[in-house]
A and B are shown apart, each in its own frame.
Chain A
């Protein structure tokens, strides 16, 4: 299958007063058409930074930003800022941001806000854009009348739908979902997940689904990538991953997920996530790893294909 998105050796470092934060450190991953990649990991491991690196939404204090990102075989890293803005953002890749309330401008009506990408990218008139906006709003299961409301008049779930409508209105191929359900209650989460599934099937969308909630990610994921301290430590198809996680960190993550039906002692990972300014030498997980070996302290492991479509970065394999 032809790869839709292929990220190779992507780096994104931030300069801070304390030092350089290696938020995304030599990350490679790929995404096929119609596929969902779940990107899981603890808070602060660089998931959102990776998403921002892909869509090139860099903060002011960016220190290093390099690597290759192929979209339909073209390296979009070589695009100029203007070309990137015009041709990639929202045209090909759109994004649903963390925290739906905050990603809506409180002083613009919902409809106008959804229309914004259309007005900007397709030079549509306001009337023409509103037609598409109405379609998009219906698509995400909201009533047309909502386009005349302000964000604060909507509930959390509705806002999330609005943000999703905003991401879909330009009909992109890839949607990056950055914790789309993190602030919602369980019922609403389920609704949104079903909505995302339906949209994916309807438009053959590809998702990059960023979450710290492994349980919810299993709903949507075709492929899972586990991120730890700015690096991807395991990538596998979801059937393999959820049944048999291989990296010690991934195992611990899975063990910490509560289940409803069976009695299970919840496991946790001792220690705290490492600083991204001074990550540990060798394997970055070794200070917290139950299976740490001397080599882990010295050398960083390579990504290894332990079985078809299952890559792990660990000296155990």
Chain B
């Protein structure tokens, strides 16, 4: 009876899992797949669908403080370079953090008030920041505050950047990097300091952070000046209740685990959300198509005659229909969400080539003596199909099912890459598309292309490895001793 129980185990899930794990490819496949599934569950729980969509759309300028096209933070470990990260200083943190001073003093006899804000920060990085913005949160009724902004470098040179009148009582952003007044002023300043004219425009963030010598005249040689920087904002508030807070953001060139894209969005969102989308899309497409093929093939093989002829002719017609062209055509005309895309893929695959091979199996099994015996003791067609034929052809179908998952994952990515995917969902294909249109390869933003590509490859590998192992299990001829 011991023998009986061990043999019985081979048919259980536990037994199959055990057998899969006896192959190296099975272990690798299962490990990657488990990791991806864990990642999917984690993603869906921590970033719910609605939130992910909102984040991906970038509602409410939620990404405004992210640098554009920032590389992942771990780049610094690979390239051994201290890549600048974001520095954000907010006058509302006065008293809570070091390096912030904010003083508002009344001017006696008037409603006017004098403002003094001083930010102090150290800049230890090996590269220039990507962008500098100043955010103003002002409170006034009629008369906007007037501000003077000064920049003090570690070498104690004080540069007056500009005088600025706040434009809106709610949120106002001064884009320092692209402000032409500041640009011209700095250009003059540098040329005077270095004593030589610059042939090219010196970017603002470079002028503000560079060592002030001849190297600064070319962006290839300019070096950042490390040390303590100060930003002083002096100003006048013209009303009694007026107030203003300032937030300085010095954008870095590295952000998060996955970096950002050209719209400042954290690539973490699409990389994480791409996982459940890809896996569920690939698996459900593969599973549903396999089940449909199974049913059609069994009907074709078992009932024969005109049913068989009809199904086989339909299959042959379907096989010559250019599947991808059709899909692209449909997806171009209608902006489809992912479920509809899945449905269309299934419909376009109803009579796929898989039917031919499964039907051949059915034809073979149909003539087995035990089927004849079952017919003899009066089993109905339905009973024979579900109890005798399908269980028999299921095992050889499973590796195919698993192995065809990557195809559908790539198909979805391909559609997204062509800009025909789900318009809302953040997916890997869409990131590759963004990277392509954003010129990632030309500009050297390799992480932007490689991250989603690696995730795609990882997914494909997981299913491929698992498929190999399963193939060897159900195909005893391939079995290794």
User: Contact: A89 with B377, CB < 8 Å?
Assistant: yes
* Residues in chain A near residue B4, CB distance under 8 A: 145, 148-149, 153
Please give me the residue from chain A that is nearest to B395 by CB atom. Answer: A107
A5 at the interface (CB under 8 A from B): no
Does B368 sit within 8 A of A, measured CB to CB?
Answer: yes
Q: Is B375 an interface residue (CB 8 A)?
A: yes
Q: Across the interface, which residues of A come within 8 angstroms of B379, CB to CB?
A: 116, 120
The minimal Cβ–Cβ distance linking B380 to chain A, given in whole angstroms, is: 8
Number of interface residues of B (CB under 8 A): 23
Report yes or no: A102 in contact with B377, Cβ–Cβ below 8 A: no
A94 at interface by CB-CB < 8 Å = yes
Q: With A and B bound together, what is the CA distance between A253 and B369 in angstroms?
A: 29
In the complex, the answer to whether B373 meets A97 with C-beta atoms within 8 Å is yes
Chain A residues within 8 Å of B375, by CB: 57
The minimal Cβ–Cβ distance linking A180 to chain B, given in whole angstroms, is 13
Question: How long is the Cα–Cα vector from A55 to B377 in the complex, in angstroms?
Answer: 10
User: Min CB distance, A25 to chain B, in Å?
Assistant: 22
CB under 8 Å from chain B, chain A span 176-198: none
Bound Cα distance A107, B384 (Å): 13
A61 smallest CB distance to B (angstroms)? 11
Partner of B304, one of A60, A86, A90, A150: A60
Q: Does A95 contact B (CB under 8 A)?
A: yes
Contact residues of B between 349 and 398, Cβ < 8 Å to A: 368-370, 372-380, 383, 387-388, 391-392
For residue B387, give the distance in angstroms from its CB to the closest CB of chain A.
Answer: 7
- Considering the complex, which residues of chain A in the window 72-108 have a beta carbon less than 8 Å from any beta carbon of chain B? 85-86, 89-90, 94-95, 97-99, 102-108
Knowing A60-B304, A120-B383, A148-B4, say if A105 contacts B370 (CB, 8 Å). Answer: yes
Residue in chain A with minimal CB distance to B391: A107
> Are A99 and B391 within 8 A (Cβ)?
no
CB neighbours (8 Å) of A94 from chain B are: 376-377
A111 within 8 A of B: no
With A105-B374, A108-B387 known to touch, is A99 a contact of B369 (CB < 8 Å)?
Answer: yes
Residues of B within 8 A of A31 (CB): none
Task: Say yes or no: B370 contacts A104, CB within 8 Å.
Answer: yes
Chain A positions within 8 Å of B3 at CB level: 153
B373 to chain A, nearest CB (A): 4
CB distance from A148 to the nearest CB of B (A): 7
In the assembled complex, the Cα of A170 lies from the Cα of B374 at a distance in Å of 14
Q: Find out whether the CB atom of B378 lies under 8 angstroms from the CB atom of A103.
A: no
Main secondary structure of the interface of B (DSSP, over half): helix
Q: How long is the Cα–Cα vector from A103 to B371 in the complex, in angstroms?
A: 7
Question: Which residues of A have CB within 8 Å of B220?
Answer: none
In the complex, whether A3 has a CB less than 8 A from a CB of chain B is: no
Q: Nearest-CB distance from B232 to chain A (Å)?
A: 83
Is B7 part of the binding interface, using a Cβ–Cβ cutoff of 8 Å?
A: yes
Q: Are A90 and B376 in contact (CB under 8 A)?
A: yes
Q: Which of A55, A90, A107, A121 contacts B392 (CB 8 A)?
A: A107
We find that the number of chain A residues with CB closer than 8 angstroms to chain B is 31
Number of A-B contacts (CB under 8 A): 67
Is A10 positioned at the interface, with any CB of B under 8 Å from its CB?
A: no
Chain A minimum-CB-distance residue to B375: A57
- Closest chain A residue, CB of each to CB of B387: A108
Interface residue A248 (Cβ < 8 Å from any Cβ of B): no
Q: Are B370 and A102 in contact (CB under 8 A)?
A: yes
The smallest C-beta distance from B366 to any residue of chain A, in angstroms, reads: 9
- Interface majority SS on A: helix, strand, loop or mixed? loop
Chain A residues near B1 (CB, 8 Å)? 145
Kindly supply a per-residue 1/0 record for chain A positions 148-162, scoring 1 wherever the CB is within 8 Å of any chain B CB and 0 otherwise.
111001000000000
Q: Are B7 and A150 in contact (CB under 8 A)?
A: yes
**Residue in A55, A89, A90, A98 whose beta carbon sits within 8 Å of that of B369 in the complex:** A98
Provide the bound-state CA to CA distance between A16 and B210, in Å: 93
| Chain A residues with CB under 8 A of B383 | 120
Tell whether, in the assembled complex, residue A89 and residue B388 are in contact, meaning their CB atoms are under 8 Å apart.
no
Binary interface profile of A, 103-119, with partner B (CB < 8 Å = 1, else 0)? 11111100000001100
Asked if residues B378 and A89 are in contact (CB atoms below 8 Å), the reply is: yes
Out of B7, B8, B304, B377, which one reaches A120, CB within 8 Å?
A: B377
Instruction: Give chain B residues whose Cβ lies under 8 Å from the Cβ of A226.
Output: none
Does A117 contact B378, Cβ atoms closer than 8 Å? yes
| Bound Cα distance A106, B368 (Å) | 11
Cβ contacts under 8 Å, B387 to chain A = 105, 108
Residues of B within 8 A of A210 (CB): none
Contact of B7 among A97, A105, A153 (CB under 8 A): A153
Cα A149 to Cα B369 with chains together (Å): 20
- From B8, B370, B380, B392, give the contact of A103 (CB < 8 A): B370
Q: Which residues from chain A sit less than 8 Å from chain B, CB to CB?
A: 55, 57, 60, 85-86, 89-90, 94-95, 97-99, 102-108, 116-117, 120-121, 145, 148-150, 153, 163, 166, 170
Supplied contacts A94-B377, A108-B387, A148-B4, 13 more A-B pairs, CB within 8 Å? A57-B376, A85-B378, A98-B369, A102-B368, A103-B373, A104-B370, A106-B370, A117-B378, A120-B379, A121-B377, A149-B4, A150-B7, A153-B4
Q: Which 10 A-B pairs have the closest CB atoms?
A: A102-B369, A117-B377, A103-B373, A90-B377, A85-B378, A89-B378, A103-B369, A105-B370, A107-B391, A103-B370
Q: List 23 A-B contacts (CB under 8 A).
A: A57-B372, A57-B376, A60-B304, A85-B378, A95-B376, A97-B372, A102-B368, A103-B369, A104-B370, A105-B387, A107-B392, A108-B387, A108-B388, A117-B377, A117-B378, A120-B377, A120-B380, A121-B377, A121-B378, A148-B4, A148-B8, A153-B7, A170-B377
